[in-house]
Structure 1
Amino acid sequence: MSVIKQIGPNWFTTVMGIGIVSALTYTSPISIPFQHVLGVVLFLILNVVFVAALCSWILRWVVHTKEALDDFRHPSRALFYGAFAMGINVVGNDYFLIGTHIFNTTSALLVSKIFWMSGAAASILTVIIVPYLLFVEHHVEPHQALATWLIPVVPPIVAAATGVNLIPTWHGHAAQFTMLALILAMFGVTCFLFIMVSGLVYSRLVYHKRLNGEAAPSLWVEIGPVGMSMALFGALPTQTVGLLAKYTPILHTVGLIFDVALWGIGVWWIIISSMHTILHLTTRGDGLPFHMGWWSYVFPIGSFTSGTYALAHLTSYPMFFIASLVQLAILWACFIIVLTRTTNGLVKGELIKWRADHSQNDHHKNYPGITKVS
């Protein structure tokens, strides 16, 4: 029970990371050795990790209700309910991309739809409740603004990007149009809030002391919604042919212009984030102490890679196919490092105290928080 007490929604970042690496490996636009085997293995691991995280999180609510409620009262911990919502949609998307190839297609598709609806509902709740708490309950200062503030507002775009593939699977134009309208509405919510939060983050970077080594990984969160937006608009022309056939050429043109522009934004932010990371690895920096926030090196990069995949399919130009392969290689490098460090931290009791002789962990290692930012 002491272990369960320590399992917060931040652990769903592992679900997000494993899930997106699994999907991107399996669906790589350039054929690579063992891509389907690796994708399936990670998909099976994803199911185990998701069930373990979900059961532990539910049990925590039952046995340690006060601690679970306290997460909402903390301006840093509350953010990670966005990871819970996104984790559900990532699992559902993997059932569509991979599960339909290894299980009964109809059953896997049904599971994917159930996960999508659950994830969409959780996303809508998260994007309402957490910002509201930030507005009326939490006490923060301007210098505490981090890109992690995006975590509870990104889930709607993740639900939109993962749901676009399901549009043709719904029967009837009315159902498909309802799905499309909901997807575009969720994109609008995240787009608006992404601009607002990014403005706060940019202001904090300009006017306050530089980010310390503990907070530096948070910068990578910015490229997550950029990549998911690219994935959404890159897939719309092909997934709405049966619904909006006469608009397909227009959607293709809009998607092309929009995605290339966003790709440029994403590359710029990757460079900025990389420079921050490298800075803290030099003598001028603070080092990069490991914590669960390191999963920011995985899912956001994976999101941007999924956007590049969509751009490659949309344009069929070699440039973006090569970029997809390079980004997948970088993603795998980050994934191996972060997964290894996470596993090592679990075994040693640094992330979760599971044995009496483990020293008490600082809670901020599991919840890299705004209260720790200099």
Structure 2
Amino acid sequence: MRRAAPFGPNLFASVMGTGIVATAGASMPGLRAAATYVWALDAALLVFLVAAAARRWTWSAVRAQLADPVMAQFWGAPPMALMTVGTGALLLGGDWIGLPAALAVDWALWTVGSLLGLATSVLVPLRMIGSGERASGGWLMPVVPPMVSAASGALLAGHLPEGPLRQGLVLCCYALFGVSLFATVVIVPQIWQQLVRHGPGAAATVPTLWIVLGPLGQSITAANLLAGVPVLPGQTAFGVLYGTITWGFALLWTALAAAVTVRTARRGLPFALTWWSFVFPLGTLVTGTSALATRVPSPMFTGVAVVLYGVLVLAWATVAVRTLVRR
């Protein structure tokens, strides 16, 4: 009899991936209704996984997962899953449940997700100190949540009245932006060094190369969403300048990750839950490109956003089906 796989935090990557399809679709012309249904599916999936975690996770089980140097990285997934569903509630769910209820849901999920994300940003890297583990894209998982908080918080700040509260939230979002950005700046060179010296590693870990797009795309999104809530001079200029520069590097990494993935697939790329790494990070590049298109009306940004969204939907459908059939 086949033994059931352990219930780990990596399962919440499916919520992240499904949610980004919904939130990215909110800005695509003619897709709002379809995106809302995807968000509803994602919210139901989150409720199911949270209920399952409440039944199955004990303190000893959590400690065992944190002790596993691979599984520990994926503790960044639950806080990002919470915030992704919350953002979808605000962008899409308000059409069904009303704006006040959508705001209440988003505030609750953002608050819990942000606190959990700050915890993973400290505790998981602390756990890795002295471990001697090989650097991989998975190392970014626990430090990306604060960047998701920054982007999601910018949307919430837009619903606050002008004054100290709005200013405080925007400043908090920029601080969260910095937490994730500089952690990424430290980690990505180590990933590149491992690639150059030792190659991509085991086939099952190759999809994690795509995780690098997560902080890149999400930072572009955050910088330009925060520009829509002006409380400091130069926010729009920073969003466009930083966003465009980072967007160029994100496209370079997309090409690199795609080439490595195709080369590995020719030799055999077995299915694993790491395949969800193909989805959420690419989705952040879609939202980042769309955010840039809002600030700089350009056919280039608009066209690339549409093409990337088509690829995102295809990737999500493929990974979702493979997850259901588990093969």
Asked if TM exceeds 0.5, the reply is yes
Question: Would you say the 8 A contact 1:123–1:155 is kept in 2?
Answer: yes
2: CA distance, partners of 1:180 / 1:292: 35
- Equivalences for residues 1-374 of structure 1 within 5 A: 6-28=6-28, 31-32=29-30, 35-62=31-58, 65-135=59-129, 139-141=131-133, 144-240=134-230, 243-244=231-232, 247=233, 250-282=234-266, 286-345=267-326
Identity fraction in percent: 28
Write the letter of the residue equivalent to 1:312. Answer: A
Write the letter of the residue equivalent to 2:89. Answer: Y
Write the letter of the residue equivalent to 2:13. Answer: T
Shift in Å at residue 39 of structure 1?
0.8
Question: Would you say the 8 A contact 1:4–1:56 is kept in 2?
Answer: no
- CA RMSD of the aligned region, Å? 1.7
2: CA distance, partners of 1:51 / 1:3: 25
Shift in Å at residue 24 of structure 1?
1.2
Shift in Å at residue 8 of structure 1?
1.2
Secondary structure of 1:115 counterpart = helix
- Residue 355 (structure 1) aligns with: none
Larger radius of gyration: 1
1: CA distance, partners of 2:96 / 2:315: 27
Question: Would you say the 8 A contact 2:79–2:114 is kept in 1?
Answer: yes
- Number of aligned residue pairs: give it: 326
Question: Would you say the 8 A contact 2:151–2:226 is kept in 1?
Answer: no
Shift in Å at residue 179 of structure 1?
0.6
Which ranges of structure 1 fall in alignment gaps of 5 or more residues? 351-374
1: CA distance, partners of 2:182 / 2:199: 27
Question: Would you say the 8 A contact 1:213–1:288 is kept in 2?
Answer: yes
CA deviation string 1:139-159 (max 9, x = no partner): 234xx2101100001110011
Write the letter of the residue equivalent to 1:127. Answer: S
2: CA distance, partners of 1:171 / 1:88: 25
Structure 2 CA distance for partners of 1:5 and 1:326, relative to 1, 3 Å: closer
2: CA distance, partners of 1:333 / 1:239: 33
1: CA distance, partners of 2:249 / 2:259: 16
Shift in Å at residue 131 of structure 1?
0.7
Secondary structure of 1:239 counterpart = coil
2: CA distance, partners of 1:4 / 1:176: 47
Question: Would you say the 8 A contact 2:170–2:229 is kept in 1?
Answer: no
Give the TM-score, by structure 1 length: 0.84
Structure 2 CA distance for partners of 1:199 and 1:343, relative to 1, 3 Å: same
CA deviation string 1:196-241 (max 9, x = no partner): 110110110111144332111110000111111101111222222x
- Residue 367 (structure 1) aligns with: none
2: CA distance, partners of 1:164 / 1:209: 38
Shift in Å at residue 4 of structure 1?
9.1
2: CA distance, partners of 1:159 / 1:13: 16
Write the letter of the residue equivalent to 2:106. Answer: S
2: CA distance, partners of 1:235 / 1:157: 12
Shift in Å at residue 36 of structure 1?
2.2
1: CA distance, partners of 2:155 / 2:187: 28
Secondary structure of 2:54 counterpart = helix
Shift in Å at residue 337 of structure 1?
0.5
2: CA distance, partners of 1:210 / 1:37: 40
CA deviation string 1:34-77 (max 9, x = no partner): x1232121111111100111111121124xx4223200111111
Secondary structure of 1:151 counterpart = helix
Question: Would you say the 8 A contact 1:4–1:59 is kept in 2?
Answer: no
The runs of at least 4 consecutive aligned structure 1 residues that moved more than 3 Å come to: 2-5
- Residue 362 (structure 1) aligns with: none
Secondary structure of 2:109 counterpart = helix
